[in-house]
Amino acid sequence: MTQTDTQPNSLNAEQVGYKQTLNSRHVQMIAIGGAIGTGLFLGSASRLHNTGPALVISYAVVGVIAYFLMRALGELVLHRATSGAFVSYMREFFGEKWAFVTGWIYWLNWALTGIAELSAVGLYIQYWWPNMPTWATVLIALAVVLSINLLSARAFGEFEFWAAILKVGAILIFLVVGLVVVIGGFDIGGHKAGFQNLWSNPGGFWPHTGDFNWYGPILVMSGVVFAYAAIEMVGVAAGEMADAEKEVPKAVNAVIFRIAVFYIGSILLLVSMLPTDQYTAGTSPFVTVFEKLGLTWMSTVIQAILIVAAMSSLNSGLYSTGRVLRSLGMSKQAPQFTLKMSKSGVPWAGIVMTSVVFVLGSVLNFLTPDAFEIAVEATSVMILFTWGTIFACQIRLRQLTDRGVIPKGAFQAPGYPYTSLIGLVFLVLVLIGLAISGWQASPYLLHKTSFLVVVFGIPVLAAVLALSWRVVKPKVVENTGNKIESLWTLDGPRYSDVTPDDLDPADDASIV
Average per-residue pLDDT for the chain: 87
Helix locations, 80-215, DSSP H: 85-94, 96-125, 134-151, 153-184, 197-200
Instruction: Look at residue 95 in the predicted model and tell me its pLDDT.
Output: 95
The region of weakest confidence among 29-43, 65-79, 319-333, 478-492 is: 29-43
Contacts of 239 (CB under 8 A, 6+ apart): 14, 15, 18, 81, 82, 83, 84, 85, 323
The region of weakest confidence among 124-133, 352-361, 482-491 is: 124-133
Q: Which residues of 252-272 are buried (b: 16+ CB within 10 A; e: fewer)?
A: beebbebbeebbbbbbbbbbb
Contacts of 180 (CB under 8 A, 6+ apart): 186
pTM of the model: 0.90
**pLDDT class for 10, splitting at 50, 70, 90?**
low
**pLDDT class for 260, splitting at 50, 70, 90?**
confident
Instruction: Look at residue 13 in the predicted model and tell me its pLDDT.
Output: 65
Reported as a single tens digit per residue, the pLDDT across 414-472 is 999 999 999 999 999 999 999 998 898 888 887 888 899 999 999 999 999 999 999 99
Instruction: Look at residue 189 in the predicted model and tell me its pLDDT.
Output: 83
**pLDDT class for 372, splitting at 50, 70, 90?**
low
CA separation (Å) from 388 to 61, 104, 221, 382, 416?
Answer: 17, 15, 16, 10, 15
| Of 356 and 366, the one with more pLDDT | 356
Report yes or no: 423 and 394 within 8 Å, Cβ to Cβ: no
Alpha carbon distance 350, 74 (integer Å): 26
Alpha carbon distance 480, 333 (integer Å): 11
CA separation (Å) from 73 to 31, 58, 237, 243, 509?
Answer: 12, 23, 12, 16, 25
Alpha carbon distance 403, 417 (integer Å): 14
Consecutive H or E run containing 291: helix 285-292
Task: Give the DSSP letter string of 415-434.
Answer: TTTHHHHHHHHHHHHHHHHH
Backbone φ and ψ of 295, nearest 5°: -95, 70
Reported as a single tens digit per residue, the pLDDT across 471-511 is 999 999 998 889 999 999 999 898 876 666 556 544 443 33
**pLDDT class for 58, splitting at 50, 70, 90?**
very high
Name all domains of the chain by residue range, CATH numbers in brackets: 17-490 (1.20.1740.10)
Q: Can you state the percent helix, strand and coil of the chain, rounding each to 5?
A: 70, 0, 25
Over residues 328-354, the mean pLDDT reads 92
For the chain, the distance separating the N- and C-terminal CA atoms, rounded to the nearest angstrom, is: 10
Report yes or no: 66 and 231 within 8 Å, Cβ to Cβ: yes
Q: Is the pLDDT of residue 73 over 50?
A: yes
Over residues 238-262, the mean pLDDT reads 84
Report yes or no: 46 and 203 within 8 Å, Cβ to Cβ: no
Over residues 204-232, the mean pLDDT reads 85
Instruction: Specify which residues 493 forms β-bridges with.
Output: 488
Reported as a single tens digit per residue, the pLDDT across 285-322 is 999 999 999 888 888 888 899 899 889 888 888 999 99
Report yes or no: 154 and 26 within 8 Å, Cβ to Cβ: yes
Q: Is the pLDDT of residue 69 over 70?
A: yes
